[in-house]
Chain A
């Protein structure tokens, strides 16, 4: 009996070790490309290709970062970063606030045609941008918005499907007792939103904020469509210039700037992972 128990325990230990070794190797293979890019950005630019199969640089170089930051055609790369922060920041603020307001309307108010508008919201959530990009371009061109940040930022201020949905789910989980108590105390529908609901939905606000920031940070299509002046490019679009034949082939600088462009995402990922995971798990939001 004891022998059997010891045998079973040993077998379990072996299985645990195999499990961890396998999962760890698998995980390493998965992020190998990223590690390779980050470490390559510290290699001498001329040796990156020759030493592609070697992971660590023989000599750690920071010159790629200084070259990369010089940017293109007299526009420093820091300029692109500033643009990205402006675009992502303003989009984030707009999407978060407007989606919370709209979400409250759907979750707590009864009004005519509510089902109809909710269905419209679901359609807006599912419809990919690629489908409406051409008519939007034509429309913004007629409005004189092409070449400005307006077509990129303004639509974010009218509620985003996924975030509205997230807020609706979250607000529905808050007991009605709170609303009723506030109502008796003479609070208006608007007061209930600002005084009762808003402080309680912080988690869904944070989730909306980090997703909207990350999506805009990575967004390549709207700058490609709506911007024309390199001074205005965000990082995502500026990086593409490294791939242009005219830019030559400074892979070191390219990797350095690509790595740098991922830093804000990494920071959000490391500090806000809980919100990201919950956001995806509860609404199936695309990450």
Chain B
């Protein structure tokens, strides 16, 4: 809070009273952001540092933590096959759900960019799943829908199929019920794409029409390049969200069958609160921070290869 030497104050020779000092931007700025600073230190920075320290200990919350060096990390990487399994499951989920959700979001956004009397209605309907999709209510609904006697099999029977697949009972189909749920929530990405699409100058399309370009050509050479900043933004956000998915796996499948749908965060939660290995959980959390941080960094470093910013021209 030693901001009273800020430029504005220095200029004035006479000593200021306390109230006058309080009214300078240098001091007032800190008064205003004080809640954030306190919250940042107390609920984010301190916990992060604590978590790093605990990751080098064995800790069950009842007894004092004992320092064990990098043993948690060594066990994770070399000894614990399940760690690699859940990482693989999570990666599989991210690799399929994130791109498919973005493709879906873009396709629907392009469908809705045409403005008609029903535009508002369509936008609302497609956006709705995204706003309720992470709720427990929808997780329970999904669980019932894909049960052997659920509505999905019911509809398949209606169309003459067998309709007796145990969607949640088989590893290969169970993970896809979660991926489909993720794709279903494409609404907020769609809205971001929609506002991105509306910002593309119409003159570009008109010029292309004059040059005799057809629909697909316009899409590949105008729409897609102009949207790359939006795609990049969505991609980074969705990747982080994807790695952190929890509720779906926790409620819908509970990791079943045979941990084929056990997400990283759920396993981390179990390490802490089922097996009481909080130090181990902290190590897992830090591994995730570094992994997701690295992926984000790589994306940022490689964006010049494919992300097209208008200012560069």
Chain A residues near B (Cβ < 8 Å): 16, 19-20, 23-24, 26-27, 30-31, 33-34, 36-37, 49, 52-53, 98, 101-102, 104-106, 108-112, 114, 117, 120-121, 124, 126-139, 141, 155, 157-159, 164, 188-190, 193, 214, 218, 220-221, 225, 236-237, 239-240, 242-243, 251, 254-255, 258-259, 261-262, 265, 269, 273, 276-277, 280-282, 284-287
Given contact pairs A102-B35, A225-B273, enumerate 16 new A-B contacts (beta carbons under 8 Å).
A19-B114, A33-B151, A37-B137, A37-B141, A52-B154, A105-B30, A111-B28, A112-B3, A117-B37, A128-B241, A129-B244, A130-B268, A131-B48, A135-B54, A138-B54, A155-B39
Contact A243 B251 (CB under 8 A): yes
Contact B3 A124 (CB under 8 A): no
Contact B25 A109 (CB under 8 A): yes
Contact A131 B289 (CB under 8 A): yes
Does B214 make an interface contact (CB < 8 A)?
A: no
Contact A158 B25 (CB under 8 A): no
Q: Mark B177-202, 1 if CB is under 8 A from A, else 0.
A: 00000001001100110110000000
Contact A139 B50 (CB under 8 A): yes
Does B218 make an interface contact (CB < 8 A)?
A: no
Closest partner residue, chain B, to A283 (CB atom): B192
Contact A281 B47 (CB under 8 A): no
Chain A residues with CB under 8 A of B234: 284
Chain B residues with CB under 8 A of A158: 35-36, 38-40, 42-43
Does B288 make an interface contact (CB < 8 A)?
A: yes
> What 6 A-B pairs come out closest when comparing CB atoms?
A158-B39, A105-B32, A111-B29, A53-B154, A109-B29, A287-B188
Within the complex, what minimum Cβ distance (angstroms) separates B130 from chain A?
A: 5
Contact A243 B61 (CB under 8 A): no
Stretch at the interface among B79-87, B165-173, B204-212, B278-286: B278-286
Answer whether A281 and B195 are a contact pair too, CB < 8 Å, given A19-B114, A20-B116.
yes
Q: How far is the CA of A132 from the CA of B108 in the complex (A)?
A: 35
Does B118 make an interface contact (CB < 8 A)?
A: yes
Does B123 make an interface contact (CB < 8 A)?
A: yes
Interface CB pairs A-B, < 8 A, 30: A33-B145, A52-B151, A102-B33, A105-B29, A105-B30, A105-B33, A110-B8, A110-B26, A111-B26, A112-B3, A117-B37, A128-B240, A130-B265, A131-B289, A132-B47, A134-B272, A134-B278, A134-B281, A158-B36, A158-B42, A159-B33, A189-B23, A190-B28, A218-B134, A243-B251, A261-B136, A276-B127, A277-B191, A281-B194, A284-B237
Contact A164 B285 (CB under 8 A): no
Q: How far is the CA of A207 from the CA of B219 in the complex (A)?
A: 33
Closest partner residue, chain B, to A193 (CB atom): B32
Contact B35 A98 (CB under 8 A): yes
Closest partner residue, chain B, to A191 (CB atom): B23
Within the complex, what minimum Cβ distance (angstroms) separates B94 from chain A?
A: 13
Contact A262 B135 (CB under 8 A): yes
Chain A residues with CB under 8 A of B265: 130
Q: Which of B44, B51, B127 has the most CB of A within 10 A?
A: B44
Interchain CB contact (< 8 A) of B131 among A128, A139, A265: A265
Contact B145 A27 (CB under 8 A): no
Does B294 make an interface contact (CB < 8 A)?
A: no
Contact A136 B43 (CB under 8 A): yes
Chain A residues with CB under 8 A of B141: 33-34, 36-37, 255, 258
Q: How far is the CA of A106 from the CA of B30 in the complex (A)?
A: 9
Interchain CB contact (< 8 A) of B151 among A36, A193, A284: A36
Does B77 make an interface contact (CB < 8 A)?
A: no
Chain A residues with CB under 8 A of B311: none
Interchain CB contact (< 8 A) of A287 among B29, B42, B130, B246: B130
Q: How far is the CA of A11 from the CA of B122 in the complex (A)?
A: 23
Contact A236 B136 (CB under 8 A): yes
Chain B residues with CB under 8 A of A19: 114, 116
Does B129 make an interface contact (CB < 8 A)?
A: yes
Chain B residues with CB under 8 A of A286: 188, 237, 241
Chain B residues with CB under 8 A of A130: 244, 246, 265, 268, 285, 288
Chain B residues with CB under 8 A of A109: 25-26, 28-29, 32
Does B149 make an interface contact (CB < 8 A)?
A: yes
Contact A127 B281 (CB under 8 A): no
Q: Which of A112, A129, A155, A188 has the most CB of B within 10 A?
A: A112
Answer whether A49 and B149 are a contact pair too, CB < 8 Å, given A19-B114, A120-B40, A287-B187.
yes
Q: How far is the CA of A101 from the CA of B34 in the complex (A)?
A: 9
Q: How far is the CA of A269 from the CA of B187 in the complex (A)?
A: 13
Contact B158 A53 (CB under 8 A): yes
Interchain CB contact (< 8 A) of B36 among A102, A276, A282: A102
Chain A residues with CB under 8 A of B51: 132, 134-135
Closest partner residue, chain A, to B51 (CB atom): A135
Interchain CB contact (< 8 A) of B137 among A104, A239, A287: A239
Does B124 make an interface contact (CB < 8 A)?
A: yes
Contact B285 A134 (CB under 8 A): yes
Answer whether A221 and B246 are a contact pair too, CB < 8 Å, given A135-B51, A139-B46, A236-B135.
yes
Contact B240 A126 (CB under 8 A): yes
Does B247 make an interface contact (CB < 8 A)?
A: yes
Could you tell me which residues of chain B, from 133 to 173, have a CB within 8 Å of some CB in chain A?
134-138, 140-145, 149-151, 153-155, 157-158
